[in-house]
Amino acid sequence: MPRPSTNDTPLPAAAVLWLNFVIGIGHFLVLFNTGAYLPMIPHVAGSLGVNLAFIDWTQSNFFLAMALAFPTASLWVSRFGETRSLLMAFAGFALAAVACAATHDYGTFLAARMVQGYAGGLTIPLSLALILRHYAADRRHIGLTLWGLAAITPFTLGPALGGWITDNLGWRALFWLDAPVALLTALLLHALTPPARSPCPQEPIHWPGIAALMTTLLALQSALNLSEVADWLRTPRIVGLLALSVAAAVTFLLLSRQTAYPLLDIGLLKRRNFLIAGAALCLTAFWFQGLLALYVVQFQVLFGYSAWRAGLLLLPMAIFSKFTSIITHRVVHRIDPRLLATVALLGLSATSLWVSSYDRTASFTALLWPQALTGVFLGLLFPPFAAIALSGLQGARELRAAAFLNLLRTSGQALGIPALTVIWLRRRALHLHFLGEAAPFTTSAQQRATHDLAAQGLPPARAAAQIGTTIAHHAGMIAFNEIFYLGALAFALLAALPMLAGRSLFAEPDAHIDLAIAELVEP
């Protein structure tokens, strides 16, 4: 998005502090929702009466809509300015939350989640632009520091509090809470921020580019979503969606080269550092978010964890990641970012391998340790990625690069959820087949187990059902470990990518702005 106007008279100190507080509330709310909803997924599926695979779409499409918000934020700013755009974004977030809370129809819920994701995505860059416009130059570092701190707590508390809300108040309570907080934030912003004195530049809207980008991402996302309930490449609809996505991507690239106002700065892909860091960021987000969603959902569905306990499993990861990120931001200018990124990816590979070694008897306490270590390496990862990708950039182009990186990151998150779920489902079906049907010794073992359970007083039908449930759980556990083993391999291979980049240059003269822009790239 373009750098905001600096022609406005800065607000008084008291008003600025109130502005920071209000923006912090809104920032907290949006980022809190990205984590709090995750442990709610099985409960939403049961409440709406649909297959769990369809509810996965409400999270993956949420991230996809958020991805589309970053490159299109500048269009809203050029028409309405930072303040009005931010007000409309919070109002849209609130209305979508009401729709999510009130509806019992899956289609309506899915659409409302996408609107909420897009509106929430808009608030992130717009809130930064508003702070940059209303802070005096000598106090701008205070506002940017507070803005960055507002991003630490929500994801840290999101999964655990979301699980508690689900178990004690019901999942709809999250959305009923969203609506008044978002509306209050919008009203306070309206009262605290005067309109911009200078008109915003009118940048032509490149509608063909918007249509091509949306088609690319939506078709690809829909193909992956449908693969959870269909037979992947044997389904003509999925093949057609993949072909449409490829055609739309090529069209988008061609259109972007022919217009003076492209939606994305495609020229950034010619910069080796941006290309490497962007690709690594997207693939890392793909694997990490896919593993994270599988972890939280399956620990409830497969292993019987409550939403609260499943959310607590992520608490050490979230806490350590944010504190490590703060430290990494301070040292990334002194230590080669390529080395930091490589170490972080190798660390994620090691922790994924650790998780893949557990079985159903693992204690809750034992499961917390790999998550704490994952948080350390996760916090070490994103600042170096931002430093590599934004190397040598400053001003408006650095902001455009951050928007591009956010599109890549959130798209990777959106695509990773259904993709890894599909792999898990297929591996689970394979193991279920061999454990339950294929081998003669397995059949005889089942017969002995049925006889033993019958001797304990269970009727034969109930004994057989219990054995079938045990086999299904065991097949799911084997597939679960295999996915994390694949994740370990993927992170290990990705660790080689940062070393292919050149040395990083920190060109932004204002270090606090540089830090805030880098923080935009982090989840």
Report how far residue 505's alpha carbon sits from residue 200's, in angstroms, rounded to the nearest whole number: 31
Domain contains 429: no
Which residue in this structure is represented by tokens 């129809």?
105
Contact 284, 23 (CB under 8 A): no
| Ramachandran quadrant class, 232 (left: phi over 0; alpha: psi -120 to 50; beta: rest) | left
Which of 193, 220, 246 delimits the end of a domain? 193
The DSSP symbol for 269 reads G
Task: In whole angstroms, give the CA distance from residue 375 to residue 398.
Answer: 27
CB–CB of 380/342 below 8 Å? no
Q: Are residues 299 and 237 in the same domain?
A: no
d(CA 278, CA 405): 6
pLDDT band at residue 300 using 50, 70 and 90 as cut-offs: confident
Model confidence pLDDT, tens digit, residues 56-78 = 899 999 999 998 998 888 888 87
CA angle 331, 335, 340 (to 5 degrees): 90
The more confident residue out of 417 and 12 is 417
Q: Do 282 and 405 sit in the same domain of this protein?
A: yes
- State percent of the chain over pLDDT 70: 79
Give me the mean pLDDT over the 503-517 stretch. 58
Q: What is the rounded average pLDDT for all residues in the chain?
A: 82
pLDDT value at position 159? Answer: 86
- Which residues have CB under 8 Å from 48's CB, separation 6+? 55, 104, 105, 106, 109
> Where does the pLDDT of residue 439 fall: very low under 50, low under 70, confident under 90, or very high at 90 and above?
very low
pLDDT of residue 460 exceeding 80? no
Q: Are 256 and 209 in contact (CB under 8 A)?
A: yes
If asked whether residues 403 and 295 sit together in one domain, one would say: yes
Percent of the chain at pLDDT above 90?
A: 37
CA dist 479 → 422, 425, 439 (Å): 11, 8, 18
Residue 5: pLDDT over 60: no
Is the CB of residue 128 less than 8 Å from the CB of residue 147? yes
Q: How far apart are CA 232 and CA 248, in angstroms?
A: 20
Q: 307-335 burial by CB neighbour count: b if 16+ within 10 A, else e?
A: bbbbbbbbbbbbbbbbebbeebbeebeee
Exposed, middle or buried: residue 156 (CB in 10 Å: 0-12, 13-18, 19+)? Answer: buried
pLDDT band at 382 (very low <50, low <70, confident <90, very high): confident
Q: How far is it, in rounded angstroms, from Cα 20 to Cα 12?
A: 12
The residue among 263 and 16 whose pLDDT is bigger is: 263
> Strand, helix or coil at 518?
helix
Quote the pTM value: 0.86
The pLDDT of residue 283: 95
Which of 365-374, 385-394, 396-405 tops mean pLDDT? 365-374
Asked if residue 451 belongs to a domain, the reply is no
Q: Based on the fold, state whether residues 214 and 183 are members of the same structural domain.
A: no
| Residue 507 located in a structural domain | yes
In a domain, 64, yes or no: yes
Do 240 and 355 reside in the same domain of the chain? Answer: no
- Looking at the predicted structure, is the pLDDT value of residue 251 above 70? yes
Residue 223 to residue 226: CA distance in whole angstroms: 5
For 100, the domain range is 1-193
Q: Is the pLDDT score of 360 beyond 80?
A: no
R_g of the chain computed on alpha carbons:
24
Contact between residue 488 and residue 352 where contact means Cβ atoms under 8 Å apart: yes
pLDDT of res. 2: 44
- Span 296-307, average pLDDT: 85
Q: Are residues 173 and 218 in the same domain?
A: no
Angle, CA 50 vertex, CA 44 and CA 53 arms, to 5°: 85
Task: Single out the residue in 234, 260, 286 at which a domain terminates.
Answer: 260
The whole-number pLDDT of residue 31 equals 82
Query: Does 431 reside within a domain?
Result: no
Q: Is residue 283 in a domain?
A: yes
Would you say residue 256 lies in a domain? yes
pLDDT of residue 141: 46
231 and 323 share a domain?
no
Q: What SS3 class is residue 263?
A: coil
* Residue 523, pLDDT above cutoff 80: no
Residues 279 and 232 in one domain: no
Looking at the fold, whether 211 and 322 belong to one and the same domain comes out as no
Give yes or no: residues 142 and 48 share one domain: yes
Whether residues 103 and 30 share a domain: the answer is yes
Which H, E and C letters describe 118-178, residue by residue? HHHHHHHHHHHHHHHHHCCHHHHHHHHHHHHHCCHHHHHHHHHHHHHHHHHCCCHHHHHHH
Most confidently modeled range among 23-27, 100-104, 152-156, 253-257: 100-104
Which segment of 335-344, 355-364, 400-409 scores lowest on mean pLDDT? 355-364
| Least reliable range by pLDDT among 62-66, 145-149, 297-301, 305-309 | 145-149
- Confidence tier at 220 by pLDDT (50, 70, 90): very high
pLDDT at 462: 66
Extract the tokens encoding 332: 């990334």
Q: What is the pLDDT of residue 239?
A: 93
Read off the pLDDT of residues 148-197 as tens digits, 9 standing for 90 and up.
555 555 566 788 889 999 999 999 999 999 999 999 999 988 887 766 54
Which amino acid does the sequence have at 49?
Answer: G
On whether both 407 and 517 belong to a single domain, the answer is yes
Q: How many structural domains compose the chain?
A: 3
CATH number at residue 120: 1.20.1250.20
Please, which residues have CB within 8 angstroms of residue 237's CB and are 6 or more apart in sequence? 226, 230
Per 3-state DSSP, what percentage of the chain is helix, strand, and coil (rounded to 5)? 80, 0, 20
79 falls within a domain: yes
233 CB burial (10 A radius; 0-12, 13-18, 19+): exposed
